[in-house]
Structures are given as structure tokens and as C-alpha cells.
Amino acid sequence: MLTLSTRHQIIIALSLLLLMITTRGNHFASLQHLPSASWAVFLLAGLYLRPVWVFPALLALAGSLDYAAITWGGVSNFCASPAYPMLLPAYGSLWLAGRWYAKQYHAHWSTLMPASLAILLGATVCELFSSGGFYFLSGRFADPTLTEFGARFIQYFPGSLQSLLFYVAIAAVIHLLLVSIHSITTKHNRTEG
């Protein structure tokens, strides 16, 4: 099981907040048009941050960023529709996938299987809620059908998954680097003590 000190959780939380603020829909600082990290932020928050209130706080941040972007940033309000509340279960699926994986985590290569399962299942359910909700509930599509949604899912899900994997891979490298440094430091301190 993955457990972190409060100090480490605060550092991670601030990093995730900064990541969401700088990449959410390219509303603000586009950083050369990096893909949105929102999916990864919810997954990683579920993995690393223990307080449950983090989830509604991240939802509030995402909603506030979208509101500010539409109101003051000149971003189109096309996605602001009756389907917008479907982001709650969409992001919730990623957050819960991260929480589930935190319980499965152990510092060994065999952790890759549950990590892959958490990422793929969380992302799939997220896409079904977010894209499916938008397609069926937004009122932007005349006569929506399951067949057309299936085609749209096949078209758009790989890009969303790719963006998620991009940020999760960066987080995994940072995680492995910090675990290695901690392990080396701990061994060094034991040999000197």
C-alpha cells in the first residue's frame, strides 16, 4: 500500500494544482499547447492524496477554471451544456482508480499489472461518462445513436488515453527517481550509523 507523509502529500497536491491550472483546456498558459492534464490530475490525486475532500476541491477548481476561461478568457462555451455534471462521475472514476491502485501498490515490477488495469479501466469509464454524457445529454447532436457514439468513442478515446499516459509516465519516472534516491540515502545512513 502506498502511504506518504503529510509533507509529501502537500507537495504533490500543489504540483497537481499547478499542473491543472497550466494545462486545463489550454485556457491560460498553454506551455506550447500541452494536452490537458485533468485526467491525470484526478488519477494521481486518488493515488497519492489521502484526504477525501481533495476530490470535490479538484472538481471545484476544474469548474472554476472552465468558468473563468469562458467568462473572461474568450474560450467557447460549446462544452458548457446540460451534460457538464457528467464530469463528476467521469473524474470520479479516475480518482477511484487511483485510490484502488494505492491499495495494490508495492515497490516491485509486479505492480505494473494493477497500475495498467487501474489506468485503463479508470480512463475507459471516464471517457464513457464524459464523452457519452456530452454526446447524449448536451443537446448539441441531433438524434444521437449508440452506433455513432461508438464511432466517436473509437475516434477520440485514444487521444485522451495518450494524454493521460503522457502525464502518468512522467509521474512514474519522478516517483521511481525519488524512491531510488530515498533507498540509496537510507542504505547510506544505515552503513554510517
pLDDT in tens, 120-153: 999 999 999 999 999 999 999 999 999 999 999 9
Flag whether pLDDT at 32 surpasses 70. Answer: no
Flag whether pLDDT at 3 surpasses 90. Answer: no
Domain boundaries, the chain: 6-192
Flag whether pLDDT at 27 surpasses 50. Answer: no
Name 183's Cβ contacts closer than 8 Å, sequence gap at least 6: none
Q: Where does the pLDDT of residue 33 fall: very low under 50, low under 70, confident under 90, or very high at 90 and above? A: low
Q: What is the pLDDT of residue 26?
A: 53
Flag whether pLDDT at 29 surpasses 60. Answer: no
Residue 19, helix vs strand vs coil: helix
Q: What is the pLDDT of residue 35?
A: 81
Give, in order, the Cα–Cα distances in Å from 130 to each of 124, 151, 189.
10, 15, 49
Global pTM reads 0.91
Task: Kindly tell me the burial class for residue 134, based on how many C-beta atoms sit within 10 Å of its own C-beta (0-12, 13-18, 19 or more).
Answer: buried
Q: Where does the pLDDT of residue 74 fall: very low under 50, low under 70, confident under 90, or very high at 90 and above? A: confident
Q: What is the pLDDT of residue 24?
A: 84
Radius of gyration, CA atoms only, the chain: 18
